[in-house]
Amino acid sequence: MSTEIERKFLVVELPDLSGADKAVVRQGYLTAPSDSTELRLRQKNDGYFLTLKGAGSLVRVERETEITSEQFETFWPETEGRRVEKERYTGKMPDGRVFELDIFLGNLAPLRLVEVEFDTEAEAQAYTPPGWFGTDVTADKRYKNKMMAIKGVPI
């Protein structure tokens, strides 16, 4: 079983992204808003993925497999009304940790979120974020991509 341990923050100001990798992402959700488990389709540049994410906030199950563009397009219409578009920047911070910074597009603009993954829950709890990180929204369900795809930017 694959487990994801990550914290998510609002972004106060953009860091230098000149050394970061950029990907254009579109994703849609196949599960109902009331389901605690998420089943997601994602296109990231020229790659296509099907991902299952379990319930939880800081720690949760994640399983992902690559699919073909044809498989993606077969199911994509079923995500209507439950979609997110964003630019994702993946880079390294001075402490060596990897960040994933999402700049949302469309009706979620100008929202910006950054995520950092950890090896252990204790490591995640002890983490002190850099100054460009804002409010910790890890446990705020309104900032889950699935919820924002359905309800829009949290108020």
pLDDT tens-place string over residues 11-32: 999 999 999 999 999 999 998 7
Find the mean pLDDT for residues 58-82. 95
- How confident is the model at residue 34, as a pLDDT? 76
pLDDT tens figures, 35-67 = 788 999 999 999 999 999 888 778 888 899 999
Contacts of 137 (CB under 8 A, 6+ apart): 8, 9, 10, 113, 143
- At the top level of CATH, the class of 3-151 is mainly beta
Q: Which of 29, 48, 89, 143 is catalytic?
A: 29
Per the prediction, the chain carries an average pLDDT of: 94
Check residue 36 and give its pLDDT: 80
Residue 9's pLDDT band, with cuts at 50, 70 and 90, is very high
Give, in order, the Cα–Cα distances in Å from 50 to each of 10, 32, 83. 26, 16, 14
Q: What is the pLDDT of residue 1?
A: 53
pLDDT of residue 33: 74
The share of the chain scoring above pLDDT 90, in percent, equals 84
pLDDT digits (tens, 9 = 90+) for 84-94: 999 999 999 98
Distance CA 8, CA 73 (A): 29
Is 127 catalytic? The answer is no
Asked whether the predicted pLDDT for residue 101 surpasses 70, the reply is yes
